Amino acid sequence: MATAILDGISTRYEVRGEGAPLLMFSPGGFDAVIEKWSSLGIYAKTKPLDYLTQNYQVILFDRRECGQSGGRVERVTWAHFVRQGVASLDHLKIDKALAQDIAGTARDRIVVRGVIDSADHAIVPWLAAASAARSWCQASSRA
- With 0.85 as the threshold, say if the pTM is over it: no
Q: Please list the residues that pair with 51 across neighbouring strands.
A: none
Do the beta carbons of residue 36 and residue 26 sit within 8 Å? yes
- Per residue in 42-61, pLDDT (tens digit) is 889 888 899 889 988 999 99
pLDDT given for residue 1 in this prediction: 79
Answer whether residue 67 shows pLDDT above 60.
Answer: yes
Q: For the ranges 42-46, 68-72, 96-100, 101-105, which has the lowest average pLDDT?
A: 101-105
